[in-house]
Structure 1
Amino acid sequence: MSDEYQAGLDALQAGKVQLAKELFAASDDERASGELAKLATRQKDQLISACLITKNNQRTLAECLASLYRYNFEIVIADTGSTDKTVEIARQFTDKVYHFDWVNDFAAARNFAASKASFDYILTLDSDERLVGGSKEELQDFFINTDTKKTVGLYKVVNILSSGKKQNQVINNVIRVYDRRYCKYYYRIHEQVGLIADESALLDTKVLKFRTIHYGYQDEKLLQKKSQRNVELLLAQLAVTPDHVYFIYQLAKSYYILKNYQQSFEYFAKFFLIQKNYRLQWVRDGIDAYLKLCIKTKRYDKALECVNLCQEQCQDSFDMLCIFATVYVVTDNDEQAIRALKKALTLASPDKGEFGWTTADACKDLAKIYERQGRWVLAKEMLTKVGDEKLKLNLDQQLTVVVLVDEETTKLTACLQSLAVLRANYLILVRGTNPQTITLARQYSQAVYHFSGQEDELGNYCLTKLTTDYGLIVHANEKLLGADPDVLKQITSKKAAIVGRVRIKVPVKGDEFGRQTHELRLLVKSYSKFNGPNLTDISSRKPRQLLKQVELPLILAKNLTYEAYYQSEVAKQTRLKASLKQKPNPTASFELAESYYHFENYEAASQAYLDFLSGPLELAKEETLTAVTNLISALIEVKDYQGAFNIVTTFNPYYQGLSDFQFAAGLAYMNIGQFADALTAFENARKLANSDSLGINTYLSYYQQGVIHEAMGNKQQALGAYRLAGKYELAKAGVERLLRKK
């Protein structure tokens, strides 16, 4: 076998038809003529010309031309002034290589290449692309059986974008197949195929199965250089056609790539002022670029305006809906984002959309939203559809949030979504009959149960359904205001004989800030039990083992108006009184007293507090101190000053080191005229400064001292105390009152 013949076969294997011809022609091997005959027959079978323009593309050209071999297209190349080996490489594949003097006009170069073709049927591609998919037969069928006077073919261009080691794909449908008798390229930059007879006519299109893989944007510096060149050409074009919206869009996009964001915004503003048809693919590309610009520069308001402007015409586009969802997320419109992504998933979802979005991307984005909202069930469903085993929800395996719900469907949503930050599973116990509540709850948890038993059975029922060591009790009409999940996780990481207290903000009539109470809400399943129907009445399973109370790093708030909260408290009072008639219960007595007290029924509160304090007491418990201080205040309100003084005397040995008690004692001393003792008590409250109330530690104690000094006629001391109370309104009024006196 001669060297030329073997080299010819090797060249043919690489798609280098012209080089193979030359080698076979030079070979003395008798088989070479047979190969030349085959190549001649192959050439006669050609009906379509693949046309390219090149300049200094030696790195990518061979792979590009080799990809065309299996389709048996004629290859036509117009080189615009290469100084590397581009022309040498091109001539190994085809004898139709021509020089075109570059005139800053891509359309002119494209049309020149097409003019040198042997056939009217043209397929265009770039020299840094390779053609895959489709078939010669599909393309021939298109040209033979389609009205090419008004119809052109488009195929997908898969742009491989690179950022370091990471690659991403952006896919565009581009018109690249046409009949040169009826169509040609227009525009010196970002050239487009149009009818020769009418440049502005809307072409019919047919999607072909071909794809090209484009590696033109691998080098960031090269991309920047190309974009700067494009800006110069586009500005020149716009000098001729200043209102041409296509060039305005391309210039805006080029400025975006160059990170000249101000000018990009200016040209996009012109683009949207003129362009009103958002169904065109290149227009949607402009919308995509504009939204990315807005997000990049954090102009979320502009992004949302654009979505609202364009969305009606883009409901048929998988990618556009995904892009819109991104805007909705950054503008805190999660529900609209969910609707957009769910709509996208109902469409024919591509492996890769026109702007790079995939079905997996949409599912992952939905999962992220659901996860942020605590809708664990829906989030898991979406992650399952992605099919990536590495993607999973990591929820706390020690803690379950037990949510008690009646009919509050709207409030249940707010409750569960506020709790999502804890990343704990939910156990949802539904006591109502609304089927919508059950349906809603099952978006958040698979552990949803309808409870229809007696009230005093609820606690035990809850424990039977609890599958983790710890349970946190929350009502559906509450929301999480704040929490430290890391500290909470430390508390629940090991099973211990504890019970957790949480702060709960409740509404107060005429006070936008409300007030805070404490309740036992965290239990350990193996150590705890419920006493009666109230799930805040948590005690130890073992009679001789006391549960240590722990302050939890979280605050809940009643998601109720004052009127609704008042009605719920009235119902609670009725329920507690009925329970106490059946069986004495210190916790129920305390909660009943608290309810009476905070709704200013001081006489009933006094009796309920006395009932609580008359039973077995744990003086170290927060509830006992609260009962003592509130009882003193309640007795003062009903003018039982001696009774208040007696309570102070009884509990002083135990609580004299606490600011809350000293402040209550000061009020009792004031009302029986023991002003010196009252002043000392308020001073102690301020100096101890260990109350949860900032007021007791500071301005309230100063104010009460001011009141005493004023009553005693000590004007200067009263003024000093009032002024130390700062901006407290009653103290300011005291200062004004004293200054008016002569």
Structure 2
Amino acid sequence: MLTRWRSCLVVIARNEAATITRLLTSVRPFVDDMLVMDTGSADDTVHLSEAAGARIAHFPWIDDFAAARNAALDAASADWHVVLDADEWLIGEGGGGAALAALRTTSPEFVGTIALQDHFDGGTAQSRLSRVLPGHVRYAGRIHEQPVHDLPLRALDVQVGHDGYQPERLHVKQGRNERLLRAAIDDDPANPYLWYQLGKDFSVYERFADAEAAFANASDRLTSLPLTPAWWNDLVARRLFGFKSLKRHADGMVFAETQLQRCAESPDFFFALGDLLLDWAADEPQQADALIPMIEDAWRRCLEIGERPEQPGAVEGRGSHLAAHNLALVLGATGRHEEARALREAR
């Protein structure tokens, strides 16, 4: 007879009435239990969670995501914990319900990763995150907290959507992450990941000068890490976009040259590089003859690499139709209409 393992969806939430029902409804058929840890909602989050079949617990918010997550995990007390946020949801019928249901007959001896699809204004980005945890695993980190364990990772066929980067959602969160990240950096100023996350937060809100300062700090501190971290390609692409937005094209090019080998298989890097160079050519037409071949090379390299959804932060289309569209525009603008048309038709 198969051993039966109990699974529980675990959520921390505060004022998430707009999205909590979507999450709970999408996951409910595939788990044994659902626990929503409310951290001080003033809206209908608790009522809607109960109506969707979740248990409710309460934890006072103390500016520490790991503390809230760990309190929720303690309250859930299952063999498997599926950790999702209120602005996430299981995508469609093929989003991984079968993989979650299979946890009931799977020994909790590994940490499962899920495929997260971030929806933002203008596109989607892909990442894989450790969100399916054996019952004893707990978190560390005031913000952008991570599960602490030495277990093997297993990629699960679970697809999760996230729309927390949509403009209306960002407005609600503005300032919160910066405050927590600065507090975390005060505790651990040599941590390049925290500086990267601070830069990412600034870039989301188009504070590009602040973002560049934070990304530069992350870069300076990267030497403390034995290997290039998985998030590095995302930092590089965001930093290049920031250089473009600040009109610091030459500085961006100098930085890009230092990253050619490290980011050789990142379509996001070459896409951002082409974007930076095109903006430079538009601002300084006298440089266009020298820059256009480099712009073409960057976007051709995107197409050679192709889509790399397994790379954290990879934006859909930068290895395919977005790069092809941009390249075709440049080819057409420089009189190569047949090649531009062939490229559009091929895509």
How far apart are the structure 2 equivalents of 1:267 and 1:108?
Answer: 26
Q: Distance in 2 between matches of 1:49 and 1:241?
A: 33
Q: In 2, distance between residues paired with 1:63 and 1:330?
A: 40
Of the three residues 276, 284, 300, the one matched with 1:327 is 276
Residue 93 to residue 357, structure 1, CA distance change in 2 (3 Å): closer
Q: Which residue in the other structure is 1:244 paired with?
A: 191
Residue 253 of structure 1 aligns with which residue? 200
Mapping for residues 548-697 of structure 1, pairs under 5 Å: none
Aligned residue number for residue 474 of structure 1: none
Q: 1:272 deviation in Å? A: 1.0
Mapped contact 1:90–1:97 kept (Cα < 8 A): yes
2:134 is matched with 179
1:288 aligns with 2:248: no
Contact 2:142/2:184 (<8 A) preserved = yes
Aligned to 1:368: 329
Mapping of residues 88-237 of structure 1, within 5 Å: 88-132=47-91, 133-139=94-100, 140=102, 144=106, 148=110, 151-161=111-121, 167-181=122-136, 183-195=137-149, 205-220=153-168, 222-237=169-184
Among 300, 304, 307, the alignment partner of 1:342 is: 300
Aligned residue identity for 1:371: G
CA deviations over 1:595-625 (Å, ceiling 9, x no partner)? xxxxxxxxxxxxxxxxxxxxxxxxxxxxxxx
Instruction: Determine if contact 1:121/1:180 at 8 Å carries over to the other structure.
Output: yes
Which letter maps to 1:97? I
Distance in 2, Cα, partners of 1:240 & 1:302: 31
Displacement of 1:51 in angstroms is: 1.1
Deviations along 1:380-411, one digit per CA (max 9) or x if unpaired, are 1111123xxxxxxxxxxxxxxxxxxxxxxxxx
Specify the SS of the correspondent of 1:309: helix
Relative to 1, partners in 2 of residues 1:78 and 1:146: Cα closer, same or farther, differing over 3 Å? Answer: closer
Q: 2:252 aligns with which of 288, 295, 303?
A: 303
Q: Contact 2:117–2:159 at 8 Å: present in 1 too?
A: yes
Indicate the RMSD between aligned Cα atoms, in angstroms: 3.0
**1:218-617 maps to which residues of 2 (within 5 A)?**
218-220=166-168, 222-275=169-222, 279-332=228-281, 333-349=291-307, 354-358=313-317, 359-386=320-347
Measured after TM superposition, the shift of residue 141 of structure 1 is 6.7
Preserved contact between residue 139 and residue 145 of structure 2 (Cα < 8 Å) = yes
Higher mean alpha-carbon deviation, 331-340 vs 245-254, is at 331-340
- Whichever residue aligns with residue 96 of structure 1, its letter is R
In structure 2, the residue matched to 1:416 is none
1:105 and 1:187 in contact (8 A); partners too: yes
CA distance in structure 2 between the aligned counterparts of 1:51 and 1:308, rounded to whole angstroms: 44
Deviation at 1:145, TM superposition (A): 7.7
* Inter-partner Cα distance in structure 1 for 2:117 and 2:333: 35
Please name the residue that 2:287 is paired with.
none
SS in 1 for 2:17: coil
Question: Given the superposition, is the C-alpha separation of residues 142 and 223 from structure 1 closer, same or farther in structure 2, using an over 3 Å criterion?
Answer: same
Number of residue pairs matched? 328
Cα distance, 1:352–1:327 mapped onto 2, change above 3 Å: farther
In structure 1, the residue matched to 2:288 is: none
- Going from structure 1 to structure 2, the CA distance change for 1:95 and 1:64 (only over 3 Å counts) comes to closer
Cα deviation, 1:70-99, whole Å, max 9, x if unaligned, reads: 323521211101111111111123352110
Change beyond 3 A, Cα 1:326–1:249: same
Deviation at 1:170, TM superposition (A): 3.2
Amino acid at match of 1:341: W
Which residue identity lines up with residue 63 of structure 2 in the other structure? N
* Superposition deviation, residue 312 in structure 1: 1.2
Q: Is the 8 A contact 2:80 2:133 kept in 1?
A: yes
Q: Quick check: 1:156–1:171 contact (8 Å CA) kept in 2?
A: yes
Task: Output the CA distance in 2 between the equivalents of 1:263 and 1:317.
Answer: 25
Taking a change above 3 Å as real, the CA distance of residues 219 and 337 of structure 1, as seen in their structure-2 partners, is: closer
SS in 2 for 1:374: coil
- Aligned partner of residue 200 in structure 2, secondary structure: helix
Alignment CA distance shift 1:145-1:114 (3 Å): closer
Aligned-residue offset at 1:236: 1.3
Q: Which sits farther off after the overlay, 311-320 or 244-253?
A: 311-320
- Report the TM-score, using the length of structure 2 for normalisation: 0.83
Give the structure 1 partner of residue 286 of structure 2. none
Distance (Å, rounded) in 1 between the aligned partners of 2:156 and 2:332: 40
Query: Residue 206 of structure 1: CA displacement?
Result: 4.1
Question: Is the partner of 1:314 in helix, strand or coil?
Answer: coil
Partner Cα distance (1:384, 1:47) in 2: 52
Name stretches of at least 5 consecutive residues in structure 1 with no aligned partner: 1-43, 162-166, 198-202, 387-742
CA distance in 2 between counterparts of 1:365 and 1:204 reads 41
Task: State the secondary structure of the residue aligned to 2:22.
Answer: helix
Checking the alignment, whether the CA contact within 8 Å between 2:192 and 2:221 is kept in structure 1 is: yes
> Aligned in 2, Cα 1:370/1:116: closer, same or farther, shift over 3 Å?
same
- In 1, are the aligned partners of 2:11 and 2:36 still within 8 Å (CA)? yes
* C-alpha distance after superposition, 1:330-380 (max 9, x if no partner): 345333333333333234526898442312112112212222332222211
Is the contact between residue 261 and residue 293 of structure 1 (CA under 8 Å) also seen in structure 2?
A: yes
AA matched with 1:157:
Q
Contact preservation (8 Å) 2:199, 2:215? yes
Higher relative contact order (CA 8 A, sep 6+): 2
Contact 2:127 2:310 in 1 (8 A): no
8 Å contact from structure 2 (residues 115, 159) kept in 1: yes
Structure 1 residue identity aligned to 2:332:
E
Alignment-mate amino acid for residue 324 of structure 2? C
Hey, what does 1:576 align to over in structure 2? none
Please tell me the residue identity of whatever aligns with 1:375: R
Q: What is the match of residue 688 of structure 1?
A: none
- Percent of matched pairs sharing the same residue: 24
TM-score normalised to structure 1 length: 0.41
Give me the whole-angstrom Cα distance separating, in 1, the residues matched to 2:272 and 2:209.
Answer: 22
Residues 600-654 of structure 1 show CA distances to partners (whole Å, capped at 9, x for unaligned) of xxxxxxxxxxxxxxxxxxxxxxxxxxxxxxxxxxxxxxxxxxxxxxxxxxxxxxx
Instruction: Give the C-alpha shift of residue 252 in structure 1.
Output: 2.1
> CA, structure 1 residues 351+262, in 2 after alignment: closer, same or farther (shift >3 Å)?
closer
Query: Could you tell me how far apart the structure 2 residues matched to 1:320 and 1:339 are?
Result: 12
2:46 is aligned to: 87
* Equivalent residue number for residue 487 of structure 1: none
Task: Verify the 8 A CA contact 1:154 1:205 in the aligned structure 2.
Answer: no
Residues of 2 paired with 1:239 and 1:327: CA distance?
A: 33
Q: Flag the 1:88–1:292 CA change in 2: closer, same or farther, 3 A.
A: same
- 1:218 and 1:270 map into 2 onto residues whose CA distance is 27
* Amino acid of the structure 1 residue aligned with 2:68: A
Q: 1:328 to 1:95 in 2, by over 3 A?
A: closer
SS at match of 2:21: helix
